[in-house]
Structure 1
Amino acid sequence: MVFPKQIRFFGKKKATYFNSIQMRKTFRPESSFETSFMLQQEFDDDVLAWAGQPQSFVFNIKGKLTRYTPDIIRRRKTPEGEKIEIIELKPNIFANNESVYTKHQLLSEQFLDRYNRPLTVHTEDDFYKPIKAENLARFYQYRAYDFSRYDLDLAFTHLTDVKCVGDLYEMCSRFKASPAFAPALIAQKKVHIDFEQPFSLDLPLEVKYG
């Protein structure tokens, strides 16, 4: 995978922001790597809440005070119940470095001792799929679309024969809905596509509503 070469680090002089629709807050990712992970939190139905670089922690490690700020803290549903996760995002090219790995191990021990939760390191192997990242970015703006002025029960009676994305767009155009209506149905998972497949009008789509 050549993804590490594609990472853009934004730097302190270039302000880049991520507007979370779910959390109604603005976060400041430090790289395109972090932005991609933030997008996935917004689409993950198991993520109940999350924050980017929410707070700093100070630990005494080997007699030296060390300040550390996690990239992400999230609350997520698991089969065992709700779980708080403290996450460091690190591309493999850095995570596999011996000194970085040792630092993460020491920090994880500190979090376990103080909060009974480890620090978990996520690399591109854990979450990054280029096609999925592209699709999530394509549909993200429609997560905020307001359906309240529509009778969705009535709308979905017209979608029973929809089999692909092209069918959905064509059918929505018939009842003169907003151009954002069809992509918003996809973004808010009122209809379902496989985000890991390349986007096209022929992409299969499943209608599940109610």
Structure 2
Amino acid sequence: MARYIEAVCRQCRREGAKLYLKGDRCYSDKCAFSRRGYAPGQHGQGQARKKVSEYGIQLREKQKTRRIYGLLERQFRNYFEKAERQKGITGENLLVLLERRLDNVVFRLGFASSRTQARQLVRHGHFIVNGRRVDIPSFHVKAGDVIAVAEGSKDAPVIKEMAEGLATKTVPAWLELNAAGLSGKVQRFPTREEIDVPVQEHFIVELYSR
């Protein structure tokens, strides 16, 4: 499957916001967005002075959300169409669907420093859901599901390194973390107030409704 392979810091600079795509590096002085907060490219510094159209604002919010969760255009559109069919507010439904992805839940529980790393760990079969190994990052968790590190993966260096910081990890209220058991539980679906992504989802709805 096609995937963005260039420097992910360029995505933050293009969107004009820190998207926390590289985990701990985004909180350090090495963060490219902190050092160069303007858009990438030869004319990047001048783009901030340009007036952005209504369509441009809507497009940027969609691209920002897509990049935060690491999705391709077709994947993202499919999520939107599913959210649109559900009862409730389409924009909020969309974000809840994205939060329910297994790679996102693994990230939220602190088992990975970024969604990108979480996606890789899931693909490599390091996690089980309700006792069964799941290696599909887009797998949708349900309320009551238990996500845990697979027994055979607990000695992996990347898992051991992650486990050292779990004791001080704060997780969203809709999740429950068992740091000692290297597991977590989905207590319920998140509310909009609990989804801390810097996006205005109503612009996405407006974009796809054009």
* Global fold match (TM > 0.5): no
Greater relative contact order: 1 or 2 (C-alpha under 8 angstroms, separation 6 or more)?
2
Please state which structure has a larger fraction of its residues in strand: 1
TM bucket (normalised to shorter chain) is: under 0.3
**TM-score normalized by structure 1?**
0.25
Please state which structure has a larger fraction of its residues in helix: 2
